[in-house]
Amino acid sequence: MATSASEGAGKWTSDLDQWFEGRTVWILADNDEAGEAHALDVARHLHPVAASVSIVRLPGLPPKGDVSDWLDAGHKPRAVVDSIGDTLDPPSDLLGIAKATPKFDPAAAQPNVAPTAPAPNAIKATPFTWRDPSQFPRREWLLGHDYCRRYLSGLIAPGASGKSGLMLAEALVLVTGRPLLGTAPRETVKVWYYGGEDPQEETERRVLAAMKHYGIAPVEVDGRLFLTSGRDVPISIADMADGRAKVATPVVEAIVAQMVENEIGAMLVDPFVSTHGVGENDNVAINLVARQWGAIAERTNAAIGLAHHSSKPGGETVTTEKSRGASSLMDACRIGRAMNKMTKAQADELGVEEPNRFFRIGGADSAGKHNLAPPTDKTHWYRLASVCLENGKPAGGNAFQNMAPDLSDWVGVVETWEPPSLMSHVDNVAQLEEIQRRVGRGKFRESYNSAEWVGGVVADVLELDAMNKGHRARIRRLLAVWYASGALEIYEEKDDHREVKKYVRVGSGDDGCRSSAGVRQ
């Protein structure tokens, strides 16, 4: 029996499914995007009820052609039988081609197709209906203002900055409910982390290191954390075909099915570029991919986190506007963060010896994107702690074996870090008074290049190293505060060579200046 959709392409309805129950169904796809989309739609409807379903793509069909065009071109509806009664192989007739077509599998990869526009009668304007604002549903934030159900969150970061470690740590926060990075989640959810570049065991290695570092028991993550490697299960939701970006609808459907089946509340994709095969600089193509991820977030009521590389900064501060390639990715994200490695200047100022272990998110120069929350320029600092898995120690325990090198893996785990405050070394008024006493008993210069620099006194009292760049920068900032408050003051006087120099003495301000000097009374 041959039939066609009663209302035409794109208008198949579920009430038609019953007529195909238990039947072998061959769907003859038209050779255009609408035909492909319609064939897939019908196949998904009939797959649960029919004995089998196959989508037949006729060879040699002209663009926008259908089965009538194919038959008009001289092709046969049934097999041509040769002189000894065998059909030709490979088949060239309609029935033979149909029988040779593989059965439809909704979970298997299918040719990429572009999404079709909705039928005109499916588009409608929705009138606004007032509701009491105090009763209106709140946004479903999961973790701070970084992840929200039904929305895309973008994380822009330079290479080797710690973005994978950060996303995995955030995954553990969402899974366990613990405030591992300073903030507890608003609700615990199951998380699916897709690592598009690293092997599965490397991601597992990072998770194990983080669990060890934070003391997380296996029962806290069992059945709640899902890990997939792009090396084992490549995901590409859009690719180039015939010079155009086209969505791989079955791949999108498979992602949705997995998220629904496993009740995933957040999916973290690292990196975004591993999930498509379109031109990275093509705004139209990247917008198509981003919209598919947005649709996945909407359909699954989940938060989607997309990590993406920054453009080559050349020493410039990374912002959400400096993502690599097309800007349409971050345009599609309603939440955006940017990671910046600690600079040498910052390390010197903060007294940090290994700046490559530190990174920050936020700050006045990299505030991020906050479409759904109040803007903030607060800076959050993080540090990569080294964790040993203890998986390379020699077995046994005799003297010879104990001399063997430990070949255990070391893994970086992200943890929060608070930079020392300006007054962190000034604990009480007595310390400032001791600095003032020493300054009053001697003669000290204002210039930090002088051997008689007053900062040496500050370093001695506060047990800092005046030769350390970070400590020296902190001392200079402390002195600036005390000069401004009147605790110390600068004056000019001729030195032994009758040259005018700047010196420091105890200020004339009263005890009230100590409060403004930043010390506790």
Residues 149 and 69 in one domain: no
Asked if residue 414 is part of any domain, the answer here is no
pLDDT by residue, tens only, the chain of 521 residues? 677 776 666 677 777 888 888 888 888 888 887 788 888 888 888 888 888 888 888 887 777 888 888 788 777 776 543 333 333 445 667 777 777 777 877 766 444 444 445 556 678 899 999 999 999 999 999 999 999 999 999 999 998 889 999 999 999 999 999 999 999 999 999 999 999 999 999 999 999 999 999 999 999 999 999 999 999 999 999 999 888 999 999 999 999 999 999 999 999 999 999 999 999 999 999 999 999 999 999 999 999 999 999 987 667 899 999 899 999 999 999 999 999 999 988 888 787 888 999 999 998 888 889 899 998 889 999 999 999 999 987 666 565 556 566 889 999 999 999 987 655 556 667 888 999 999 999 999 999 899 899 999 999 998 888 888 778 888 888 898 889 889 999 999 888 888 999 999 998 754 444 444 555 44
The three-state secondary structure class of 388 is strand
Tell me, what's the pLDDT at 259? 96
Q: Would you call 264 exposed, middle or buried from its count of C-beta atoms within 10 A (0-12, 13-18, 19+)?
A: buried
Residues 371 and 458 in one domain: no
Tell me, what's the pLDDT at 358? 96
CATH code, domain carrying 217: 3.40.50.300
Asked if residue 521 is part of any domain, the answer here is no
Tell me, what's the pLDDT at 83? 31
Residues 449 and 344 in one domain: no
Asked if residue 111 is part of any domain, the answer here is no
Structural domains counted in the chain: 3
Residues 145 and 20 in one domain: no
In degrees to the nearest 10, what's the CA dihedral of 424, 426, 429, 435?
-160
Measured CA to CA, the distance from residue 213 to residue 351 in angstroms comes to: 25
Structural domain including 81 reads 14-106
Identify the CA nearest to 203 among candidates 157, 273, 269.
Answer: 269
> What does the angle CA 488 – CA 489 – CA 493 come to, to the nearest 5 degrees?
135
Task: Please state, in angstroms and as integers, the Cα–Cα distance from residue 95 to each residue in 25, 26, 58, 80, following that order.
Answer: 12, 9, 11, 11
Tell me, what's the pLDDT at 448? 87
Query: What's the pTM?
Result: 0.68
Residues 280 and 344 in one domain: yes
- Indicate the helix (H) or strand (E) that contains 163: helix 163-176
Tell me, what's the pLDDT at 505? 94
Residues 219 and 311 in one domain: yes
Asked if residue 399 is part of any domain, the answer here is no
Tokens 């895309």 belong to residue: 152
Tell me, what's the pLDDT at 377? 85
Please identify, among 48, 81, 106, the residue that sits at the C-terminal boundary of a domain: 106
Residues 377 and 502 in one domain: no
Measured CA to CA, the distance from residue 384 to residue 434 in angstroms comes to: 38
Residues 147 and 93 in one domain: no
Residues 298 and 164 in one domain: yes
Please identify, among 367, 388, 409, the residue that sits at the C-terminal boundary of a domain: 388
Residues 369 and 438 in one domain: no
Measured CA to CA, the distance from residue 115 to residue 289 in angstroms comes to: 11
Token code pair at residue 346? 């910052």
CATH code, domain carrying 442: 1.10.10.10
Residues 238 and 366 in one domain: yes
Tell me, what's the pLDDT at 216? 98
Residues 352 and 493 in one domain: no
Asked if residue 96 is part of any domain, the answer here is yes
Helices (H), 184-327: 200-214, 218-221, 249-261, 283-300
Asked if residue 122 is part of any domain, the answer here is no
Asked if residue 407 is part of any domain, the answer here is no
Please identify, among 57, 89, 106, the residue that sits at the C-terminal boundary of a domain: 106
Asked if residue 81 is part of any domain, the answer here is yes
